[in-house]
Structure 1
Amino acid sequence: MEPTARIARTIATEIAARPEQVDAAVKLLDGGATVPFVARYRKEVTGGLDDTQLRTLSDRLDYLRELEARRETILGSIKEQGKLTDDLAKSIAGAETKAQLEDIYLPYKPKRRTKAMIARENGLEPLAEAILADRQADPEALAASYLSDAVPTVKDALNGARDIIAERLTEDAELLGTLREHMQKEAVLSAKVIDGKEAEGAKFSDYFAHAEAWSKVPSHRALAMLRAQKEGIVTLDIAPPDPEQVEAMVAARLGARGQGAGDAWLRKIAGWTWRVKLSLSMMVDLMGDLRARAQDEAIAVFARNLKDLLFAAPAGNRPTLGLDPGIRTGVKAAVVDATGKLVATDTLYPFQPKNDLRGAQQTILRLIAQHGVELIAIGNGTASRETERMVGEALKFLPKGVTPPTKVVVSEAGASVYSASELAAREFPDLDVSLRGAVSIARRLQDPLAELVKIEPRSIGVGQYQHDVDQHRLSKSLEAVIEDVVNAVGVDLNTASAPLLAHVSGLGPGLAEAVVSHRDLNGAFRSRKDLLKVSRLGPRAFEQCAGFLRIRDGAEPLDASAVHPEAYDVARKIVSACGRDIRQIMGHEGALKGLRAEQFVDDRFGLPTVRDILGELEKPGRDPRPSFQTASFADGVEEITDLKPGMVLEGTVTNVAAFGAFVDIGVHQDGLVHVSQLADRFVKDPHEVVKTGQVVKVTVVEVDVPRKRIGLTMRKDGGASAREDRQARGPAKDRGPAPKRNAKPQQKSDTGGALGAALRDAMRSR
C-alpha cells in the first residue's frame, strides 16, 4: 500500500471518518488552510469533519509522515546491505509504530564493534549453532574444540557463544514485542528515597517507598515521581513482579524446555540476557512511554482548562475599575471605558503602613462617579479579600438611587507577566509597570479572551506540572486551543488588538500588526473587502481570515456575521426569497420560517454551508460563550480559619486537574474537590462535570489550617462518604508496610484517603 493511502486509512480509523475525507482535509491543510477555516467553510469538501477531528488529523499526520519517512530509510538501508527479503519487507510494511520499526531494524542497524562481533571473528558462531542444535551435548565439551590463541579457555569460548546468542535475543523483534506487551500489562513502577535526601525532598514523601502498576499510574503522580527523580530525591525502577516468569519467556524463545545439558546452559543464558541486557532496555522504553503518556495527559488537561478559560463569559462592554491588591505597595487602580481604553489610574493605600482607608474609599467613589463605572474587577492575589471588603464598605456611601457597580474577584494569574512584557510596554509606554497589571485585570473581566491572548498561556495558571512536559508540544497544543477559540468566537476588526488578530485564521503576528497600522492610519474598516488594501494581505490570507472578522454597522450588513464573503451571493438569494431588506431579516427569529435549505444548494455550496448561512442570518455574529455570572461569597468567610466542615458555599472553579477541581470560595487558598467528590456517581474525568470559570456550590469537608488545605465536595450527601472513608481507614501507621520492590502493586492508602492524597499532589504540581 502506498504511504499516502496507508496514512489516510490509519487516521480515518482513529477519527471515525472515511479515507477520502482524510485525503481531502490533508490537501487543504497542506495547501495552507487552517483548521478553523477548513472546519467552518469547507464542510462539503471534507464531508463535515469538525475542528476536534481535524486537530487530531493534523497531529497524527506529522507522526505518521515521520513514520513513513523512517520506514523508507530502513528499507533503503537494508537493501543496500543486500539483506532485504520478501518476508522482511512485509514485516517492515506492517509495522504500525516507530518502536516496532526499530525492533525490526535492530539486527541490520550499523553499530559499533560488539562482543558478539568479536566472538564471530574468533570463529565461535559455529559453537553457538552447535549448542543450539544438540541440546543433549555438554556445552563445555563442545567448546573444547574451538580453542585458539584468541580463545585460550573453554570459559572464553562459552562466553563468546553466550554473547552471540544474547545479541540475537536482543535483536529479535518478535521477542521484544512480546516482552514489551507483557511489561506494559504487568510491570511495577517503584520509587525509593535516596539515603540522606528525606528532609530535602519532604514534599515527595509519598514516594519514598512507593510501588504501583505501571499501566495504572495517573499522569499527575507519574510527573511528580519523575520530578522527584530529576531533583535527585528518589530512584525509579520499572520491573516485572515475577522476574523468573520473564526469564522463562526469553528461554522459551530459544526452545530451552528440555532437561539436557544444552537446555540448562541456554536457560542460564536467557536469564543472563534478561538481567544484563533486556531488562535495562525495557525499563528505558517503559520509562519513556510513561513520561510520554503522562505528558500527553497533562498537556490535554492544560489545553482543556485553557479552552474553558478562554470561553469564559465576558462581562461585556461596560466601564470597569480594575484593582490590583497590595499591602505595603498599595492597591493599584485603573479605569477602562466600555471599549477597554485606559482613562484613569491611581494608587490607594488603605492598609499598613499608611492605613488611609478613608482616602482610598473616597478615590474609589470619585472614579465611579467620573467614569460611570459599572464593574469592579479585583485581583485574587495578596490582600484580595481585604480589598474586596474595603470596596464593599465604600459602595455603601454611594448616593441613594445610584446603582452600585458589580464587584467581581478575578484571577490575576499572568497579569504581572503581561505588565513587564514588551507588548505592555508598547501599549502603555508611559505607565508604571505596577499599574499595567490593574489594566489587565479590568480588561480580562470585560472580555477574558481578548486580554488573555496577550499572556503566555503557561503563565495563566491552569496547567498541571506544566514545567515538566515537553515545552514545544505544550506550546503547539495551547496555540491550537487559542486559534480554535478565537475563531469560534470571532473578532471585531475595528477594535481588536494585534495580539488577538494574530490568532485569526490566515493572519499571524506580522499581518495582524499590518492590519492595526492600516486601521490607525486610515480609520475604521468599512467593509471586509477593505482588508485587501492592507499591505502584504493578499487573496489567500483574505480567504482564510475574512469569515472570522466582524464589522459592526459597516457598509455590508453580512460583514457582521460569520457568513464568508465567498458565499454572500447565496445569502442574498435567501434574503431575496423573503422579499424583505436584509437588515430586517438579520437577527429576527422567524423571518426565515418556511424556507428550505435544499432550495438554495448549488454547484459550489451544499447543505452544510446553506444551513450555516440560515443560522447566521437568524443570529448574526452570535457569541458561543455563556452568559456572565459571578459567585456570591459568603459573608464572614474571608480567611481559612473561618471555614468549618459542613459549610455550604458558592465558588468559582479556577483549575481542573486529573485528580479533581480547585475552587475559589472567597478565602486566600483555593479548595480542592477530589474527583470522587464531584458528583453522586463515578466520574472518570473531572472535565465531565466542571470546567474552569464555572460557578458551583460546594460543601466544606475538611480544613487543614497549618498546611492551608481545604477539602470540598459537590456530592449531595455533603461528603459523608469521604468522612466515613477516612474513619474506616484509620491511622497510617496501622496500614502495613509499603510495597517491596518486585512485589505485587498495592493500592496506596494515605491519611485522608484519596482526598488527602490529591491535596498533596496538588501542592506538588504547583
Structure 2
Amino acid sequence: MSSQLIQFIKNFTNLSEASISNTVELLNEDCTVPFISRYRKERTGNLDEVQIGDIVKFKEQFEELNKRKSSILKALKEQEVLTDELQRKIESSDNLVVLEDLYLPYKKKRKTKAETARANGLEPLAKIIMSQRANDLDYIASKYVNAKVTNEDDALDGARHIIAEWINERTDIRNNIRWQLEKFAQITTKGVKTKITDEKAQKFRDYFDWSESLSRCPSHRLLAILRAEKEGFIRLKIEIDDERALDKIESRIIRSNNECADQIALAIKDAYKRLLLPALSNEILAKAKEKADETAINVFAKNLKQLLLGSPLGEKRILGIDPGFRTGCKVVCLNAQGDLKHNETIFPHAPQNKSIEAMKKISSLVNAHKIEAIAIGNGTASRETEQLIRKIRFDKEIQVFVVSEAGASIYSASKIAREEFPNYDVTVRGAVSIARRLADPLAELVKIDAKSIGVGQYQHDVDQSKLKKSLDAVVESCVNTIGVNINTASKPLLSYVSGIGPKLAENIVTYRNENGAFESRNEIKKVPRLGAKSFEQGAGFLRIKDAKNPLDDSAVHPESYLLVNRMAKEVKKSVDELIGNKTVLQQIDLHKYCTGSVGLPTLKDIISELEKPGADPRETAKVFTFNKDIRTINDLREGQLLPGIVNNITNFGCFVDVGIKESGLVHVSNLADKYVSDVSSIVALHQQVIVKVLEVDVQRKRIQLSMNYM
C-alpha cells in the first residue's frame, strides 16, 4: 500500500496511520462502509461511518490526482519536454490546481495570439524586451518586420502577446491573483432588461442589482444567483481591485524604467484582462460553486437521513387515501405485510359531493379489512378529506395520519411500481405508496429517486454525480442501520443492503418466490451468484423472523455465533434464554472472550444486541392534528400560534406545514433566542412544533413564521 496515499488521507483527516491503513485494506478487499463500521471496529480503531466515508472520499481524490499525474507525465514525455526537475515537481504535487499550473506552459492550446507571434519570428524580440536592458525599441523592432509583420508597431504588439502568455503561465503570479480573489472578490449581478419583466424572473428580483463579497455569499444565495444567470435573467461578474492586482504583478516583473518597462506594463495589463482574470475568476467561482454544492448536498443528506429514519407505525392493517376533488379520492386497503387487498374511488368533495356515501364506504372498509390506521396524503383536498374521516364514528379507535406524498407520483409511474402492480393504474399505486409510508417510511422511500422526495435546497443545481453518491451513501447507511427482513423486503430495499446490490437483490426475490420464505441465514448462501464475500458483507444486516436460531433475527453476525454459543454455555443458559436476559448478560466478563481479531468494541456490540435483538431504533409514528380553522393562506393572521410539522430544512431556516398548501418559513434568526449556526441542531424533519405567524404575503404566497416567541 502506498505510504503517499496514507499520508495524503492523514493530512485531511487527522486519523491515525494504523486506522487509515487498515481501513484502506478493507476497502481494497471490497468491504462496504456499513460492514466495516459495524463489524471491523478492531481493525479500524472504532471509526464510525462518517470517518470511514472521509477515508473513501480522500482515497478517491488521491487516485484521481495520480491518474491526472500519469496523464500529464505521458503528454510531456511525448512532447520531449519532461525534465527531471519538472517530473519531481509533478510527482510531489498533492493539489490539482498546482498540477495544472505546472502543466499549463506545455498544454496544447488552440491557436493563440502568442502562437501566431512566435510563428512570425517575434519570440527573440519578446526576450529582448523582458531582459529590460534594451533602448531604442523601434529600431530593434524594425529588424523583425517581414511579410507577415508589416511595421514596428505590429512587431511590438506580437512580442507583447508572447510576454502576456509568459506572465499568464507564471505560478507565483497566478497564486497571487488567486489569493486576492479569495480575499477580496465581489460577486456583482445585474438584471437583463429584456427578461426582468418575465413572471419567472420575479423570484430572482433581489439579484437584478446585487453585490456582495463572494467569500461571504451563503450557499443557497450563490446557487440561486447561478440559476438566475443560467436561465438568462441576470448577468454576473467577479471583480477585484484591478489597480492593486496590476501593481502586484508589475512589482514582480518590472525592474527598470525604460522603453522595455513600458512595453511590459502594456503586456501585463493585457495578460491580466484577457488571460488571468477571466480564467482565475472562473476558477474561484467554480470553487465557490463546489463549496456551495457541498453545503447543499450535506443539508440534503441530513434531511434525507431524518426522513428515511422517520417514525414507522409498524406492521398494521392500513387504509390509504390519495385525496382529490374532481377525480375523487382513491382508497386502498393493505394487510399488515403491506399487500394490496382492495381499492376503489370515493367522491366526497365537489363537484360530486357524495360525502355521506363516502363516509359509509370508509366505515364499511374499516370493518371488512379490520383496519387499524388511516393514512391520508397531504396534497390537494387533504384537509377536507381528513375532516371527513374524523367525522366517522368507527366501532373501535382508528388512528388517522396525514402523510407526505412528495414523490408518490414519481413512484407510481416508475418501473418499480409497474413491476409491483402491473394490473393497477398510477392512482392506485400512489395510494398504496402513501399507506406504506406510514407503515415504514424507509422501506417505501428507497423506491423513489431521492431528489424527488422534496427536501433540501437547489438539488437540481448541484453536481449531480456528487449528489447521487452522497444520497446513495445515506440510503445505504439508513437501510443497514435498521436492518432488513429478507422475507418481506422489496427488491429496491434489498439492493441497498451491504454487499448485495441490484442484481443479487433480484436473485434473492426470485429465490424467495420459487422456494418460499428463508428459514435461516445459512440458506441465503443458496441464492444464485451470492458468494462468500457477499454473504460476509450482508448477512448481519439481513433478518429472518421466527427463525430456528434466534440470532438470525439480530444484528449479531454469523461469524460470531460460536462466540455467543460459548457465552451461553459458560453461564449455563441456552441462546434463547440468554437473549433479553439483561441481568445475566451484564455479568459476563467480556475480557475472557477477547482474541486477536475480536476485541471489546465488538463484544460490547454483541451484548447490546443480545439485550434487545433486532430492536428498531426508530420511534413509533404519532398522530398529529392541524388547527381545523386554518384551511387556506387567507385564514392566517399575524400573531396566531399554530401547530405545524417541519417538512424541509435548509441552511437559512426551516419550512413548516401548518395544514395549508403553502409552507411557512421560520428563518434561522427566528428559530431560537440565541445564534443558530446549524438549523438541524434545533429542528428535525417531521418534528411537531408550535409556530407564531409573523407576516403573510398573500400575493407572493409567502409566510414568515417564528419559533422564538416566548
Deviation track 1:185-240 (CA, whole Å, cap 9, x = no partner) reads: 21111111112111112222111111111112222222222221121111111121
Judge conservation of contact 2:314–2:620 (CA < 8 Å) in 1: no
Cα distance in 1 for partners of 2:310, 2:555 equals: 20
Cα distance in 2 for partners of 1:78, 1:454 equals: 48
- Calculate the TM-score normalised by the size of structure 2: 0.96
Cα distance in 2 for partners of 1:276, 1:429 equals: 60
- Pairing 1:594-605 to 2, within 5 Å after superposition: 594-605=587-598
Report SS of the residue matched to 1:621. coil
Report SS of the residue matched to 2:585. coil
Deviation track 1:12-39 (CA, whole Å, cap 9, x = no partner) reads: 2323312332222222222221111111
Greater mean deviation of Cα atoms: 64-73 or 439-448: 64-73
Deviation track 1:597-625 (CA, whole Å, cap 9, x = no partner) reads: 22211133122211111111111112222
Greater mean deviation of Cα atoms: 674-683 or 108-117: 108-117
Judge conservation of contact 2:564–2:575 (CA < 8 Å) in 1: no
Task: Determine the structure 1 residue equivalent to 2:608.
Answer: 615
Cα displacement (A) at 1:121 = 4.1
Cα distance in 2 for partners of 1:442, 1:591 equals: 41
In the alignment, is residue 429 of structure 1 matched against residue 427 of structure 2? no
Q: Which amino acid aligns with 1:35?
A: V
Cα displacement (A) at 1:698 = 1.8
- Pairing 1:72-87 to 2, within 5 Å after superposition: 72-87=70-85
Judge conservation of contact 2:118–2:162 (CA < 8 Å) in 1: yes
Task: Determine the structure 2 residue equivalent to 1:205.
Answer: 205
Task: Determine the structure 1 residue equivalent to 2:355.
Answer: 357
Cα displacement (A) at 1:118 = 3.6
Greater mean deviation of Cα atoms: 246-255 or 433-442: 246-255
Cα distance in 1 for partners of 2:7, 2:621 equals: 44
Cα displacement (A) at 1:263 = 2.4
Cα displacement (A) at 1:516 = 1.6
Q: Which amino acid aligns with 2:157?
A: N
Cα distance in 1 for partners of 2:429, 2:149 equals: 78
Deviation track 1:293-344 (CA, whole Å, cap 9, x = no partner) reads: 2222222222111111001111111111111110000011111122212222
The correspondence for 1:336, drawn from 334, 354, 361, is 334
Report SS of the residue matched to 1:468. coil
Task: Determine the structure 2 residue equivalent to 1:742.
Answer: none
Judge conservation of contact 1:251–1:271 (CA < 8 Å) in 2: no
- Pairing 1:361-440 to 2, within 5 Å after superposition: 361-394=359-392, 397-399=393-395, 402-403=396-397, 405-440=398-433
Judge conservation of contact 1:139–1:265 (CA < 8 Å) in 2: no
Task: Determine the structure 2 residue equivalent to 1:544.
Answer: 537
In the alignment, is residue 628 of structure 1 matched against residue 602 of structure 2? no
In the alignment, is residue 665 of structure 1 matched against residue 663 of structure 2? no
In the alignment, is residue 482 of structure 1 matched against residue 478 of structure 2? no
Task: Determine the structure 2 residue equivalent to 1:534.
Answer: 527
Judge conservation of contact 1:385–1:668 (CA < 8 Å) in 2: no
Report SS of the residue matched to 1:268. helix
Report SS of the residue matched to 1:590. helix
Task: Determine the structure 2 residue equivalent to 1:652.
Answer: 645
Between the aligned residues of both structures, percent identity stands at: 44
Q: Which amino acid aligns with 2:250?
A: A
- Pairing 1:137-156 to 2, within 5 Å after superposition: 137-156=135-154
In the alignment, is residue 252 of structure 1 matched against residue 251 of structure 2? yes
Cα distance in 1 for partners of 2:386, 2:231 equals: 40
Question: How has the CA–CA distance of structure 1 residues 227 and 661 changed in structure 2, closer, same or farther, with 3 Å as cutoff?
Answer: same
Cα distance in 2 for partners of 1:695, 1:533 equals: 46
Task: Determine the structure 2 residue equivalent to 1:301.
Answer: 299
Cα displacement (A) at 1:542 = 0.9
Pairs aligned (count): 708
Cα displacement (A) at 1:489 = 0.5
Deviation track 1:663-703 (CA, whole Å, cap 9, x = no partner) reads: 11222211111111122211122122222222222222112
**Superposition CA RMSD, Å:** 1.9
Cα distance in 1 for partners of 2:348, 2:115 equals: 80
Cα distance in 2 for partners of 1:469, 1:612 equals: 38
Task: Determine the structure 2 residue equivalent to 1:504.
Answer: 497
Cα distance in 1 for partners of 2:585, 2:462 equals: 51
Task: Determine the structure 2 residue equivalent to 1:217.
Answer: 217
The correspondence for 1:515, drawn from 483, 508, 516, is 508
Cα distance in 2 for partners of 1:149, 1:579 equals: 104
The correspondence for 2:679, drawn from 686, 695, 711, is 686
Cα displacement (A) at 1:359 = 0.7
Q: Which amino acid aligns with 1:656?
A: I
Q: Which runs of 5+ in 1 are unaligned?
A: 718-766
Greater mean deviation of Cα atoms: 677-686 or 561-570: 677-686
Cα distance in 1 for partners of 2:334, 2:593 equals: 46
In the alignment, is residue 111 of structure 1 matched against residue 109 of structure 2? yes
- Calculate the TM-score normalised by the size of structure 1: 0.89
Cα distance in 2 for partners of 1:191, 1:698 equals: 35
Question: How has the CA–CA distance of structure 1 residues 61 and 306 changed in structure 2, closer, same or farther, with 3 Å as cutoff?
Answer: same
Shift >6 Å, 4+ stretches: none
- Pairing 1:159-308 to 2, within 5 Å after superposition: 159-200=157-198, 201-240=201-240, 242-256=241-255, 258-308=256-306
Cα displacement (A) at 1:40 = 1.0
Cα distance in 2 for partners of 1:112, 1:406 equals: 69
Report SS of the residue matched to 1:382. coil
Cα displacement (A) at 1:105 = 0.6
Deviation track 1:451-475 (CA, whole Å, cap 9, x = no partner) reads: 1111121111113212222322222
Report SS of the residue matched to 1:317. coil
Cα displacement (A) at 1:72 = 2.4
Cα distance in 2 for partners of 1:60, 1:512 equals: 30
Cα distance in 2 for partners of 1:554, 1:476 equals: 35
Q: Which amino acid aligns with 2:76?
A: I
Greater mean deviation of Cα atoms: 314-323 or 91-100: 91-100
Cα distance in 2 for partners of 1:534, 1:219 equals: 47
The correspondence for 2:23, drawn from 25, 31, 47, is 25
Judge conservation of contact 1:575–1:581 (CA < 8 Å) in 2: yes
Judge conservation of contact 2:160–2:263 (CA < 8 Å) in 1: no
- Pairing 1:14-163 to 2, within 5 Å after superposition: 14-134=12-132, 137-163=135-161
Report SS of the residue matched to 2:684. coil
Cα displacement (A) at 1:86 = 4.6
Question: How has the CA–CA distance of structure 1 residues 113 and 439 changed in structure 2, closer, same or farther, with 3 Å as cutoff?
Answer: closer
Cα distance in 2 for partners of 1:80, 1:522 equals: 61
Q: Which amino acid aligns with 2:263?
A: W
Task: Determine the structure 2 residue equivalent to 1:5.
Answer: 3
The correspondence for 1:445, drawn from 402, 420, 438, is 438
Q: Which amino acid aligns with 1:709?
A: R
Judge conservation of contact 2:308–2:478 (CA < 8 Å) in 1: yes
Cα distance in 2 for partners of 1:517, 1:86 equals: 59
Greater mean deviation of Cα atoms: 127-136 or 439-448: 127-136
Judge conservation of contact 1:656–1:686 (CA < 8 Å) in 2: yes
Cα distance in 1 for partners of 2:102, 2:59 equals: 23
Q: Which runs of 5+ in 2 are unaligned?
A: none
Cα displacement (A) at 1:423 = 1.8
Cα displacement (A) at 1:645 = 2.1
Deviation track 1:103-135 (CA, whole Å, cap 9, x = no partner) reads: 111112233443323433444333223223235
Report SS of the residue matched to 2:582. coil
Report SS of the residue matched to 1:676. helix
Question: How has the CA–CA distance of structure 1 residues 155 and 555 changed in structure 2, closer, same or farther, with 3 Å as cutoff?
Answer: same
Judge conservation of contact 1:648–1:697 (CA < 8 Å) in 2: yes
Judge conservation of contact 2:167–2:173 (CA < 8 Å) in 1: yes
Report SS of the residue matched to 2:693. strand
Task: Determine the structure 2 residue equivalent to 1:745.
Answer: none
Q: Which amino acid aligns with 1:636?
A: D
Cα displacement (A) at 1:709 = 1.5
Deviation track 1:235-290 (CA, whole Å, cap 9, x = no partner) reads: 111121x111111122223135x543432332222112111221211222223223
Q: Which amino acid aligns with 2:8?
A: T
Report SS of the residue matched to 2:6. helix
Report SS of the residue matched to 1:593. helix
Report SS of the residue matched to 1:8. helix
